[in-house]
A and B are shown apart, each in its own frame.
Chain A
Amino acid sequence: MNFKIIRKKDKLYVSLEGELDHHNAGIVRENVDIEIKSGKVRELIFDFSELSFMDSSGIGIIMGRYKLMQACGGKVVIMGATDYIQKLMRLSGLENIIEIRKAI
């Protein structure tokens, strides 16, 4: 899996490519959290348009980041998730608390 993190002012863009599972969740989490903890991020945007696979480890990442962002008054947005990943997010109730956009 590859990922790219870009910060533009108070927006943090996290683009994930390939397969997100328990094995590679840790490295994504660590890198995103460094940016969030800098205190300058108000909007965390996950771009899932190149993400071909995700399991509940991805749900864990989103939930954890949602809590961090909520604590500092920010929000989380998910973009470009496939139908199957959207189904996963529906299952866990994430779609009720997080803004889900179709594509960039």
Chain B
Amino acid sequence: MKDKMKLEFPAKSAYESFARVTVAAFISKLDPTIVEINEIKTAVSEAVTNSVIHGYEGEDGIIYIECELKGNNAKIVIADKGKGIENVQQAMTPLFTTNPDGERSGMGFTVMETFMDNVEVKSLPGIGTKITMYKTIGTIGEGAEGE
């Protein structure tokens, strides 16, 4: 049987913590370091926050998460059926934000790409957005800095 789980929860900011903690708990089977757990939690938090703020723009909606483990590889899919992103490339540019008052840093996708090994974004305006992130656990790389 596959190591796989699915979550569905309301697109409300109160569930951002639930989402990242649950994904981190599922991946703990791979025995990640504290740094790796923090990186995964942060990437999940960014994707879920994007769905809450931009996908559904604060309106009611559902966020879908699927997580699958194969060997020491974790695959995390975070999707919404919100308004979608018209220009994915622009959205992924560091510091790009649609929030003009400066309270959103525009670093969400940059953080996901930095903390995960690979990030794929598929989005269709009016249909929704799907972010697929991959991370190999237990590699000695730049993510594994000491204290």
Contacts and interface: CB of A to CB of B under 8 A. Distances in A.
B43 to A, nearest CB: 9
Given A19-B17, A23-B14, A92 B102 contact: no
Interface of B: 13-14, 16-17, 20, 35, 38-39, 41-42, 45-46, 49, 52-53, 94-95, 101-108, 110-111, 114, 145-147
B63 to A, nearest CB: 13
Contact of A21 (B16, B103, B105): B16
Interface of A: 19, 21-23, 25, 29, 53-57, 59-61, 63-64, 67, 83-84, 87-88, 91-92
A53 B105 contact: no
A60 B102 contact: yes
Nearest to B112: A56
Question: Lowest 6 CB-CB distances: which A-B pairs, in order?
Answer: A23-B13, A59-B105, A60-B105, A56-B107, A55-B45, A22-B49
A96 B13 CA distance: 30
Contact of A29 (B103, B110, B111): B103
A92 B104 CA distance: 12
